[in-house]
């Protein structure tokens, strides 16, 4: 594979740039920040995908905001391809085209064309720079072998991963020097169990004797515990009785002071007395209130000045007082209507400020006009959407036209440039045929000359597929432009019709979108105007009614002249009330006198009932009753307390009655406590002995009993056999995978090492002549026969070693992987002589592989081999 052309849409600081490459050696020359690393990452991204946004430094988003992506034209197996990639999900949107056969290929075909190379292998071998060359310090034979297996065996990535997982699982089961792996832990446990079993065998006889002693003591302990429980129950019962002795003494005292109850002083009698007293108190309060009411009526004789002015003209004022409720209602209506009038005026003024033009409200739409406006708006919306869609299509066609602009060579058909030649040849043949002998030869020659001229003039087409596609795009663009102009004319016509409607109805510059709301506001304003007229009429009518009434009232009562309705209304109400109260004053005095007599009779009756209640109990006062009542209550309380104490004593009451005094009870309690202490001491001794035996048994069985240890040992050995078998299966499977992949890789490793030794000698001017791969690292032989480890080399010499190995890998594996080499300023640590040797080596291998070398070294312009491109141009 070799790259023919790099076309960048937008990547880093590059945009709309194209680089044409040759199949051999290409030098891309540029100073620092010219874009060398950007181009290396561009090739990697187009082939293998853009990094995710979690790695913004590797995405190289365009600095000018242009479209991220580009395309690469490459050739593989005599077939030319063009792959393009732009921003999109899953690494970007990929388009692949077979240019040789003019076929569009699925995006998945790109991975098959690049296989077995993936992004990791490409960046580790084929895309080099100074930091990656430095990884030789940690390189090993196993890494190179893994690369060989990746390229030489199809699907090796999966099997290498499986082998690695099997190795990890096997190491998790067993390591020769490990402690945590499963089998290592089982071996350590096996040694511990074996030692414990040997110790248990030595103490077997002593163990059985201690077990028999322990069983005997446990039986003794159980019997002692039962006896102690019974003794504790007796002691607890006696202790409880001793604690209840004071309660028992109080129970006997309350029984000795009991007396017979006396009738007439029960709680219901006290309730009856309280009812009589309450009735007497209520009757006394009623009598007092009636006396005060009579006194007030007798004192109410002085009349106010307005009532004195009313008396002479009562005949004129009474009809007016009759109209007072109606006039009051009229005054309330007037206030309510004035408030409503202010609200209507405010709402109408707000609508006029929002929609009126030069003080004039717009005119409402008719039904036909409303329908016409709705239809025009719908047509305008559809026309505007169509116009935007046509504009988008036109923009896309213009972008496609710009991308497909052909160069001068593509615009012309090579055969079309020779039309004159064809015509000249036809004329020569025609003229020459006239010189031939024989009519038949002349006729055939003339026809042949005419045919050649006709072919050159009429059949050879001067156009190419690219020019014909451009002509089609041009026609589509013109058609879209024509439709866009028609759409613009339609939009202007619809807007003109809407403007005419706005002028006819006085809408001014009001937007069409607000017309619907304006029509509702216009209707509301007209309704408010009509309401204002009606309300104004009602306000004037109510005001006239109140004004007429006040004039008539002032004429009858001059004392109210100049007062408004708010002042007159309460005075008239008071006058009316006073007039009614004077009419009923005489009847109130008689009624109050009768109620006073009734109240005095009720007080006398209540007092007589209280006196009768006390005399039936031989008492003279209420206090004496409550003294007898309290004594009766205390007697009842003592009886209740004695019953409660008896319930509290419960079954202990009969037991306590068996003791003559408290001393007899305490003596029996002391005997029970002494017996309980003796039993407890015996139990403690037995428990201590059992604890000692348990300690001795625990010491003898610290490693477990013989049967338990033997069973654990047998179970552990079964687990160890299963773990060992599983470990062997995983280890052998991993080794089989490694051997199979090594066989699939063939004998390429020795070839790579030999070729790398040859390249390394050329790079170091034969200072180092041989490379050897050990099990863990690389080492090299000096020309004097001395071997050096990579860690003993200078950085530049070590980077030359890594370059030699990677170049050898790429050359040897060229039959399986024909990928170009991309080197980004990889020789910065080389001295001048070795840098020239590296350039010569690149020129040598460029006959086999394509080499793209990006550098800031201007000396490459003086080299004879390779094509030089400037990044700054």
> How long, in residues, is the chain?
873
pLDDT at residue 740, as a whole number: 55
Secondary structure, 3-state, 108-169: CHHHHHHCCCCHHHHHHHHEEEHHHHHHHHHCCHHHHHHHHHHHHCCCHHHHHHHHHHHHHH
Secondary structure, 3-state, 619-661: CCCHHHHHHHHHHHHHHHHHHHHHHHHHHHHCCHHHHHCCCCC
Overall pTM surpassing 0.75 (yes/no): no
Report which secondary-structure segment, H or E, holds 536.
helix 515-556
**Six-digit token string for 505:** 């109805």
DSSP track, 432-479: HHTTSSSHHHHHHHHHHHHHHHHIIIIIS----HHHHHHHHHHHHHHH
Residue 754 has pLDDT above 50, yes or no: yes
CA atoms of 117 and 125, how far apart (whole Å): 10
Residue 148 has pLDDT above 70, yes or no: no
3-state secondary structure of 233: helix
Report which secondary-structure segment, H or E, holds 686.
helix 662-700
- Phi first, then psi, for residue 861 (nearest 5°) are -65, -20
| Top-confidence residue, 700 or 565 | 565
What's the N-to-C CA distance of the chain in angstroms?
Answer: 27
Q: What is the DSSP letter of 608?
A: H
* Nearest alpha carbon to residue 855 among 35, 124, 45: 35
Does residue 831 have a cis peptide bond before it, meaning omega lies within 30 degrees of 0? no
Highest mean pLDDT among 298-302, 339-343, 731-735: 339-343
Confidence class for position 336, pLDDT limits 50, 70, 90: confident
Residue 411 has pLDDT above 60, yes or no: no
Secondary structure, 3-state, 703-765: CCCHHHHHHHHHHHHHHHHHHHHHHHHHHHHHHHHHHHHHHHHCCHHHHHHHHHHHHHHHHCC
Confidence class for position 301, pLDDT limits 50, 70, 90: very low
Confidence class for position 73, pLDDT limits 50, 70, 90: very high
- Phi first, then psi, for residue 80 (nearest 5°) are -95, 135
In degrees, to the nearest 5, what angle opens at C-alpha 591 toward C-alphas 588 and 594? 150
Are 741 and 146 in contact by the 8 Å Cβ rule? The answer is no
Give me the domains of the chain, ranges plus CATH numbers: 1-116+858-873 (3.40.50.300), 420-443+454-463 (no CATH)
Residue 798 has pLDDT above 70, yes or no: yes
Are 26 and 852 in contact by the 8 Å Cβ rule? The answer is yes
Pairing, β 768-773 against β 127-129: unpaired
Highest mean pLDDT among 103-107, 157-161, 339-343: 103-107
Mean pLDDT (the chain, rounded): 78
Are 4 and 80 in contact by the 8 Å Cβ rule? The answer is yes
Mean pLDDT for the stretch of residues 363-380: 79
| Top-confidence residue, 135 or 231 | 231
Confidence class for position 682, pLDDT limits 50, 70, 90: confident
- The region of weakest confidence among 355-364, 389-398, 567-576 is 355-364
**Six-digit token string for 105:** 């290929």
Residue 155 has pLDDT above 50, yes or no: no
- The region of weakest confidence among 429-433, 680-684, 733-737, 868-872 is 733-737
pLDDT at residue 658, as a whole number: 80
For the chain, the C-alpha Rg in angstroms (whole number) is: 62
- The region of weakest confidence among 273-277, 497-501, 705-709 is 705-709
CA atoms of 257 and 272, how far apart (whole Å): 30
């Amino acid at each position: 594979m070799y790259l023919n052309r790099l076309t960048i849409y937008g990547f880093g600081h590059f945009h709309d740039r194209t680089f044409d490459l040759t199949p051999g050696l290409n030098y891309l020359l540029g100073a620092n920040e010219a874009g060398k690393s950007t181009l290396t990452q561009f090739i990697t991204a187009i082939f293998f995908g853009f990094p995710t946004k979690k790695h913004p430094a590797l995405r190289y988003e365009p600095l000018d905001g242009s479209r991220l992506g580009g395309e690469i034209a490459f050739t593989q197996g005599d077939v030319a391809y063009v792959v393009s990639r732009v921003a999109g999900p899953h690494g970007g949107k990929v388009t692949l085209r077979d240019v040789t056969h003019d076929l569009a290929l699925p995006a998945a075909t790109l991975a098959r064309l690049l296989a077995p190379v993936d992004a990791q292998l490409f960046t580790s071998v084929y895309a080099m720079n100074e930091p990656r060359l430095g990884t030789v310090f940690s390189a090993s034979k196993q890494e190179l072998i893994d690369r060989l297996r990746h390229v030489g065996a199809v699907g090796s990535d999966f099997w290498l991963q499986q082998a690695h997982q099997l190795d990890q699982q096997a190491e998790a089961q067993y390591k020769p020097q490990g402690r945590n792996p499963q089998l290592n832990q089982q071996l350590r446990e096996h040694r511990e169990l074996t030692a414990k079993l040997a110790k248990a065998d030595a103490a077997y006889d002593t163990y059985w004797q201690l077990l028999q002693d322990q069983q005997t003591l446990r039986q003794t302990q159980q019997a002692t515990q039962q006896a102690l429980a019974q003794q504790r129950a007796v002691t607890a019962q006696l202790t409880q009785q001793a604690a209840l002795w004071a309660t028992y003494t109080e129970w006997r005292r309350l029984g000795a002071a009991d007396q017979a109850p006396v009738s007439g002083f029960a709680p219901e009698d006290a309730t009856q007395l309280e009812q009589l007293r309450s009735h007497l108190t209520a009757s006394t309060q009623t009598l007092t209130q009636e006396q005060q009411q009579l006194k007030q009526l007798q004192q109410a004789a002085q009349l106010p000045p307005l009532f004195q002015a009313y008396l002479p003209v009562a005949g004129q004022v009474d009809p007016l007082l009759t109209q007072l409720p109606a006039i009051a209602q009229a005054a309330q209506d007037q206030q309510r209507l004035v408030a409503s009038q202010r609200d209507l005026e405010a709402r109408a003024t707000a609508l006029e400020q929002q929609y009126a033009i030069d003080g004039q409200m717009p005119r409402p739409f008719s039904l036909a006009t409303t329908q016409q406006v709705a239809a025009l708006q719908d047509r305008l919306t559809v026309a505007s959407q169509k116009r935007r869609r046509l504009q988008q299509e036109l923009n896309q066609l213009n972008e496609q036209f710009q991308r497909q602009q052909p160069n001068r060579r593509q615009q012309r058909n090579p055969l079309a440039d020779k039309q004159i030649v064809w015509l000249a040849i036809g004329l020569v043949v025609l003229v020459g045929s006239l010189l031939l002998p024989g009519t038949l030869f002349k006729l055939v020659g003339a026809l042949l000359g005419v045919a050649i001229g006709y072919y050159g003039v009429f059949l050879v087409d001067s156009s190419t597929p690219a020019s014909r596609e451009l002509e089609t795009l041009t026609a589509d663009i013109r058609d879209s432009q024509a439709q866009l102009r028609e759409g613009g004319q339609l939009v202007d016509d619809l807007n003109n019709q809407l403007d005419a409607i706005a002028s006819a109805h006085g809408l001014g510059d009001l937007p069409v979108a607000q017309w619907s709301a304006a029509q509702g506001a216009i209707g509301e304003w007209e309704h408010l105007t009509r309401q204002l007229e009606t309300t104004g009429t009602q306000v004037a009518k109510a005001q006239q009614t109140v004004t007429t009434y006040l004039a008539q009232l002032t004429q009858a009562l001059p004392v109210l002249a100049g007062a408004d309705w708010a002042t007159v209304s309460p005075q008239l109400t008071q006058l009316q009330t006073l007039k009614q109260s004077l009419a009923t004053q005489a009847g109130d005095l008689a009624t109050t006198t009768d109620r006073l007599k009734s109240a005095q009779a009720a007080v006398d009756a209540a007092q007589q009932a209280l006196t009768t209640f006390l005399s039936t109990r031989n008492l003279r006062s209420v206090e004496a009753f409550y003294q007898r009542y309290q004594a009766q209550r205390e007697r009842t309380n003592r009886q209740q307390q004695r019953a409660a104490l008896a319930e509290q004593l419960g079954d202990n009451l009969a037991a306590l009655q068996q003791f003559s005094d408290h001393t007899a009870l305490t003596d029996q309690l002391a005997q029970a406590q002494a017996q309980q202490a003796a039993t407890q001491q015996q139990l403690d001794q037995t428990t201590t002995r059992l604890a000692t035996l348990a300690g001795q048994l625990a010491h003898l069985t610290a490693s477990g009993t013989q049967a338990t240890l033997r069973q654990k040992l047998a179970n552990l050995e079964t687990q160890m056999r299963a773990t060992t078998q599983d470990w062997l299966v995983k280890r052998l499977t991993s080794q089989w995978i490694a051997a199979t992949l090594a066989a699939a890789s063939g004998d390429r490793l020795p070839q790579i090492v030999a070729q790398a030794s040859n390249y390394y000698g050329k790079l170091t001017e034969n200072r180092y002549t041989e490379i050897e791969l050990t099990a863990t690292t690389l080492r090299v032989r000096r020309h004097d026969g001395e071997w050096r480890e990579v860690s003993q080399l200078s950085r530049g010499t070590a980077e030359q070693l890594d370059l030699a190995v990677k170049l050898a890998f790429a050359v040897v594996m060229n039959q399986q992987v024909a990928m170009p080499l991309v080197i980004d300023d990889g020789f910065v640590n080389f001295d001048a002589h070795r840098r020239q040797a590296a350039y010569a080596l690149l020129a040598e291998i460029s006959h086999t592989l394509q080499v793209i070398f990006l550098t800031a070294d201007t000396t490459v312009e003086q080299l004879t081999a390779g094509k030089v491109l400037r990044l700054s141009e």
